[in-house]
Amino acid sequence: MPGRFGIGDLGPSAYEFADFLFAAGQKLWQVLPLNPTGYADSPYQCFSAFAGNPMLLSLERLREIGLLQESDLGRGQSPPFPEDFVDYGPVIEFRMAALRRAAQVFFADGSGAERAAFDGFCQSASPWLDDYALFMACKDAHRGAMWTLWDPRLRGRDPQAVNEVSAKLAPEVNAYKYWQFEFFQQWNQLKGYCQQRAIRFVGDVPIYVAHDSADVWAHPELFYLDDLGRPTVVSGVPPDYFSATGQLWGNPIYRWDLLAATGYKWWIDRFRASLALFDMMRLDHFRGFESYWEVPAGETTAIHGRWMKGPGEDFLSALENACGELPIVAENLGVITPAVEKLRLQFGLPGMSLLQFAFGNDPQGPSFRPHNYNRELVAYTGVHDNDTTVGWWSSSGAGDSIRTPEDVRKEHDFARAYLNFNFSDDAEINWIMIRAVLASVADVAIIPLQDVLGLGTEARMNLPGTLSGNWKWRYRRGALKNHLSARLRSLVSLYDR
């Protein structure tokens, strides 16, 4: 989102976007994971599966409630932050300085009522907050070093070492707790604003957590690690449509046997925390709960892995018993077997369909064509791992390990025939695809904002298999034009959405 301070946040632009959704007749707002990002700024590699990202805090709101002064927000003019992308290094440096100032003022001048609200939050969130805040404070004290490189006593969470460092770093620990308190306040305010407009949030629950995270540091017994805390096997997927060498995510693998012995307590706690944030959730890499791709640590690609049996029915039953009906969208893209689909259908979870995959040589192509949709489906033009629709259509296939120029030509010919448009209509490809998804029988249809804006590859959010340059796109101030919301609203009305 646009804004003065280098990255979209929970401030004015979020409310403007909610107004745009309302004007466009939209009822769902899907977001990427909102956790504090770590390696490569990826929302799928976070320092905590429970905490909110402090970078998303609205500095304007902190100024409005007296925790910051305008002089604290002077950066953003000389030189200005980029409008079209997030330059994470300077953004993090600037925002963390402002957030530290806000925490100092809060603890020095906060009212009794504010401190009581903070104390109540800390108590209710203590099962994850204490570990997260201490982890981040220790990480800062070690200049960002991974927890496996800390002092062995602290790395192994020796009780005496933990007590000593907790006392030594108490101000820093409290600051991290305060930012979480403020994050959940700001999020709940935005969520309430959306609820008043009948807009629900669709969140995203990554299947894995980052190795360098409070989750793994606090619960090493739940993962396959060696005596020094390093993973012995890591996550990924074999070669597929997205990448010829697969995707090597590198996250540690769960010890599902030990999780089962606890009744999946950690996962149930995580799921309940997500339910407090979101109305529905995309369960990332659903395939991995039936069988997951395990790669030996040290491999440079995901090619040399093996399929391992996941927790399957036992896990989902435990979630359902603890939380009730599961408001989950199963991310069932990639190599999907009958066993995966059986598991999904057993629990009544809608799957996903991507229209970009409907016309090429993906073996699952027929299932992505709207005439084969069923109602229990969430249909997209594309998702964060895809190119934008305009970018996908404009690609020549040159240098593409997945699609050759001849593949692209055939794909275009088929798409034109299927969607009934001519070469002269190519400039409208994003709206042609949007219309096809909204006209389908799928109960839910979600469109990436880049496709509504008609942007090309420059607005792509993520290129799987690459380690840098992702998660940076921002839309420009003023991009949410009235004619776009009117066009979306007319399609919503036309197709009874």
Domain ranges of the chain: 12-61+191-494
Per-residue model confidence (pLDDT) at position 77: 52
What pLDDT is attached to residue 246? 86
The DSSP letter of residue 224 is -
Query: Would you state the pLDDT for residue 399?
Result: 56
Q: Is the dihedral of CA 253, 258, 264, 269 positive or negative?
A: negative
> What is the number of alpha carbons within 13 Å of residue 164 lying toward its C-beta?
8
* Alpha-carbon span 324 to 310, nearest angstrom: 22
- SS3 category, 193: helix
pLDDT tens-digit series, residues 349-377: 999 999 999 999 888 899 999 999 999 99
Beta-carbon contacts of 67 under 8 Å, excluding residues fewer than 6 positions away, are 101, 102, 105, 106
Output the six-digit token pair for 117.
């609200």
What homologous superfamily is domain 12-61+191-494 in, according to CATH?
A: Glycosidases (3.20.20.80)
Which pLDDT tens digit goes with each residue over 176-185?
A: 999 999 999 9
SS3 87: coil
Cβ–Cβ < 8 Å for 234, 305? no
Helices 126-141 & 170-196, crossing angle to 10 degrees? 130
pLDDT of residue 177: 98
Rounded to the nearest 10°, the torsion over CA 403, 408, 410, 414 is 110
Catalytic residues: 284, 331, 385
Question: What 3 state SS string does 400-462 have?
Answer: CCCCCHHHHHHHHHHHHHHHCCCHHHHHHHHHHHHHHHHCCCCCEEECCHHHHHCCCHHHCCC
User: What gap in Å lies between CA 217 and CA 422, rounded to an integer?
Assistant: 56
pLDDT at position 401 is 59
Q: Rg (Cα) of the chain, in Å, rounded?
A: 23
- Kindly give the parts of the chain with pLDDT less than 70: 75-78, 241-242, 397-401
- Dihedral sign, Cα of residue 338, residue 344, residue 350, residue 354: negative
